[in-house]
Structure 1
């Protein structure tokens, strides 16, 4: 099987037609232009001697001059450690089993540029042995940046700049299922008096108040694992937590920091405070159960007069006021 070429000098093949037709030249030219436009290059590696052959575009990906002598060990060293490990696992499995693979990998080029490439690999076998591995490499740096940006936007609450509910749920579930022995606490809170701000001063003032609440939370708990706005005037905090007493201290700190007068003008001054509920996240906890406990504590804080912290103990669901 002969590899497609991007340029007559890009790759050496054993034979070429002596006098290719005009139609063949036309199709080959279209093929080359399409590959270049798509930022796709072709590669192969013979086995077991590990001899590499690249088309010119692949050299461009790695910021190497075309026809630079290639040593596979030197090229593999240009992959980031995480991508290098994934490539090694996928490649070894493909060679052993005769299957192909697709992998997105990050490289640091010969000029120090970070770039993402999508590797597509096919294994050719003869008499039960893998004799070469070949395929395509495509520059997906721009695609990766766009996807990462979309993901970041999905993980950030646009109004406050805090983590979004989506991000909160991801981290919360991860912590609940983590095998680590480190213990965490979950704190849920609502702003007391927030509805009056929206009703009296309008939603723009309400938005400014929510941003201020987010700033106060961030300053009060600088070591929090995550501070998130999970909806409306509802916030969630995940924090390392050594004990119920530690969680209570964290809850009290939130209550104190979120008690203030919202005064957008000299004529208006409305009291803001927070009701906070907490639960300890123990190892192996079920996320829904922990959230329900913290939510129950939050309800107790509101029922107990607001502007306070409550914690619900898992063992007997008893409530203790801060």
Structure 2
């Protein structure tokens, strides 16, 4: 049943305020990934489409993250440990975002962060900061000597580009980071490099 139809049905039996609360809760449950409490892929694509359509969002950057060697973590320590890693990285992402940013888990161990109003330097420093914070994190479920790391790819939105095409390019750069050895951030060629961010801005 669609939310619109459900709203019509609920309107027959609930006061307006109660109906609004129910609809809000159902919408939230539909849009959130239950494990990490970030947006799911469908909600991300909808929200990202709105940012792409808003000229005030530009420049617009998308960062794609993937937890390195995640299958090995699950295989060695169990799915509870893998879930703990996903929840912790999601918490790191949520703590870093601005109100206008969009963060989502789009599948497995892959997350995305859409940054409206972000130039190349800002997007790179955000991605590098998040990479460093995860690498420095420790998990009770995993031995202390194991570092959990992430690879990231950053793509700039191009005029007329769809959300799907932007995501595909960010994924391509993400897997370039994987091929280059993991635990790094790869950006589109620009001929410029930037210093890593100071950790006290986390």
TM-score (norm 1): 0.51
Q: Deviations over 1:83-121 (max 9, x none)?
A: xxxxxxxxxxxxxxxxxxxxx9xxxxxxxxxxx979xxx
1:254 and 2:130 matched: yes
Pick from 136, 142, 154 the counterpart of residue 30 of structure 2.
Answer: 154
What residue is the counterpart of 2:200 in the other structure? none
Q: Is the 8 A contact 1:241 1:280 kept in 2?
A: no
- Return the offset for 1:224: 5.8
What residue is the counterpart of 1:22 in the other structure? none
What residue is the counterpart of 1:239 in the other structure? 115
Q: Is the 8 A contact 1:280 1:290 kept in 2?
A: yes
Match of 2:140, SS state, is: strand
Distance 2:178 2:57 in 1: 32
What residue is the counterpart of 2:42 in the other structure? 166
Pick from 178, 182, 187 the counterpart of residue 54 of structure 2.
Answer: 178
* Pair member with larger Rg: 1
Q: Deviations over 1:148-202 (max 9, x none)?
A: 2111101111111122222211111111222436322110000113222211111
Higher relative contact order (CA 8 A, sep 6+): 2
Q: Is the 8 A contact 2:84 2:139 kept in 1?
A: no
In the alignment, structure 1 segments of 5+ residues that lack a partner are 1-103, 105-115, 119-137
Single out whichever of 173-182 and 197-206 deviates more from structure 2.
173-182
- Return the offset for 1:284: 3.8
Which structure carries more strand by proportion?
1
Match of 2:148, SS state, is: strand
Distance 2:104 2:173 in 1: 18
Q: Is the 8 A contact 2:85 2:139 kept in 1?
A: no
Quickly say closer, same or farther: Cα 1:234–1:270, change in 2 above 3 A.
same
Match of 1:196, SS state, is: helix
What residue is the counterpart of 2:157 in the other structure? 281
- Return the offset for 1:267: 5.3
- Return the offset for 1:281: 2.3
1:227 and 2:74 matched: no
Distance 1:167 1:156 in 2: 8
What residue is the counterpart of 1:209 in the other structure? 85
Distance 2:19 2:154 in 1: 41
Q: Is the 8 A contact 1:176 1:283 kept in 2?
A: no
Q: Is the 8 A contact 1:275 1:309 kept in 2?
A: yes
Aligned length: 185
The alignment yields a C-alpha RMSD, in angstroms, of 2.9
Q: Is the 8 A contact 1:279 1:312 kept in 2?
A: yes
Q: Is the 8 A contact 1:278 1:312 kept in 2?
A: yes
Which structure carries more helix by proportion?
2
What residue is the counterpart of 2:197 in the other structure? none
In the alignment, structure 2 segments of 5+ residues that lack a partner are 1-6, 195-202
Distance 2:34 2:65 in 1: 19
Quickly say closer, same or farther: Cα 1:319–1:279, change in 2 above 3 A.
farther
